[in-house]
Structure 1
Amino acid sequence: MDPAPPPAEERFAIGPRELRGIAVFALLLALLFLPVLAASCAARRSAAEPAAMRP
């Protein structure tokens, strides 16, 4: 006879390892988009300046 599978609460439990993995993934995703966001802000700021103020 096959043993009974564990209940859903145990199969899909989120423990410290899973939380650490999610946190690392979120951090890497944020670091990936940080240069894109900085470039977007810099482009928007330079477009908002009047032409006379540019060097």
Structure 2
Amino acid sequence: MVDTIRTKEYADFVGRLRKARLDAGLRQIDVAKKLKRTQSHVSRVEQVLILTN
């Protein structure tokens, strides 16, 4: 089974998410509130430490 979190495609996807957040002028906490998650969850996703779900 492929470790999805370690693929280049996943890292590229997360990079595009982060860029979109920054381009929109949003902080991690802003995104976290919209997703009903913690800021640390958003941070871990952006650091490619956990999968988005």
Q: Tell me the TM-score normalised to structure 1 length.
A: 0.34
Q: Which has the larger radius of gyration?
A: 1
Question: Which structure shows the higher helix fraction?
Answer: 1
Q: Tell me the TM-score normalised to structure 2 length.
A: 0.35
